[in-house]
Amino acid sequence: MSSIDNAADKNLKTSPAPAKGNVNSTGNSRSSASAAPRDAVARALAAALPFWGDLTEEQKTQLAAATRPLMARAGERVQGGGSGCAGVVVAISGRLRAYMPSETGKEITLFRVEAGETCVLAASCILPMITFDIALDAAEDIEALIIDPRYFSQLSQENVAVEAYLYRQTAQRFSDCMWVMQQVLFASFDTRLATFLLDEVSRTGSPHLVVTHDEIARHLGSAREVVSRMLKYFEREDLVALSRGAVEVLDRKRLLARASD
């Protein structure tokens, strides 16, 4: 059971039981039962969205009603690949990977959405300046909220704080995308691979990276064979140690120097 559902379930369990034979009491109980999940969603939105305090009470109620919870296992598709415009994704727990797939089956990671972060590019249908589609996969088991894109678009037109948040988030994600494009266009592959490994060490807090050559290739938009050859070279240089399904970073200082080339 998710943390959102736990909150709603707790509310239901602590609600007083209706009096027998009292129609009004029963009706109130049903109303309370249906409202409890919405209340839990509203609390989650309040914790995740900085503009929540700038909304009217009516807007808060409507936003909660236009939001649905989502749970996905690692590797499951959340957005893209014919799934349509998902909506604004608010990550509650876990992590998502945003990437761009090619017609030949290659992928390149654009950015990650960590717990507590929002991805408005998943609602590209409400952003007229977005002319491309991104895909979102669960990088690990996730719990998220999906805000209906049509209502979020309407809300951004009604509330300047929401509009500012929408464009601020869009600019931030575009900055992430442009950094990736810069790496692809102007950096050599050994530099990109070294940067990726160092970023993963920083993100996980461990030099032991549980990642396959195929996964690295999909992150970097390359072929598995190219990744394997470069990792073997790094291993001969005593920069990393390779094992099945894992890469151990041995010399961060020298790897950093290679990433800075």
DSSP letters, the chain, are --HHHHHHHHHHHHSPPPPTT-HHHHHHHHHHHHHHHHHHHHHHHHHH-TTGGGS-HHHHHHHHHTEEEEEE-TT-EEE-TT-----EEEEEES-EEEEEE-TTS-EEEEEEE-TT-EESGGGGGG-TT--S--EEEESSSEEEEEE-HHHHHHHHHH-HHHHHHHHHHHHHHHHHHHHHHHHHHHS-HHHHHHHHHHHHHHHHT-SEE---HHHHHHHHTS-HHHHHHHHHHHHHTTSEEEETTEEEE--HHHHHHHHT-
Predicted local distance difference test score (pLDDT) of residue 27: 43
Predicted local distance difference test score (pLDDT) of residue 82: 59
Rounded-to-integer distance, Cα 15 and Cα 26, Å: 12
pTM value is 0.73
Predicted local distance difference test score (pLDDT) of residue 255: 94
Predicted local distance difference test score (pLDDT) of residue 10: 36
Predicted local distance difference test score (pLDDT) of residue 131: 66
Residues 151-181 as b/e (b if ≥16 CB within 10 A, e otherwise) read bbbbbbeebebbeebbeebbeebeeebeebe
For domain 67-185, the CATH class is mainly beta
187-259 is classed CATH 1.10.287.610: no
Predicted local distance difference test score (pLDDT) of residue 90: 95
Per-residue pLDDT 10s for the chain (261 aa) are 455 554 444 333 333 333 333 333 334 444 444 555 678 999 999 999 999 999 999 999 999 999 999 999 999 998 876 556 778 999 999 999 999 888 787 889 999 999 999 998 877 777 766 667 788 999 999 999 999 999 999 999 999 999 999 989 988 988 998 999 888 889 999 999 999 999 999 999 999 999 999 999 999 999 999 999 999 999 999 999 999 999 999 999 999 999 887
Predicted local distance difference test score (pLDDT) of residue 7: 41
Domain chopping of the chain, boundaries: 67-185, 187-259
Predicted local distance difference test score (pLDDT) of residue 13: 35
Predicted local distance difference test score (pLDDT) of residue 256: 93
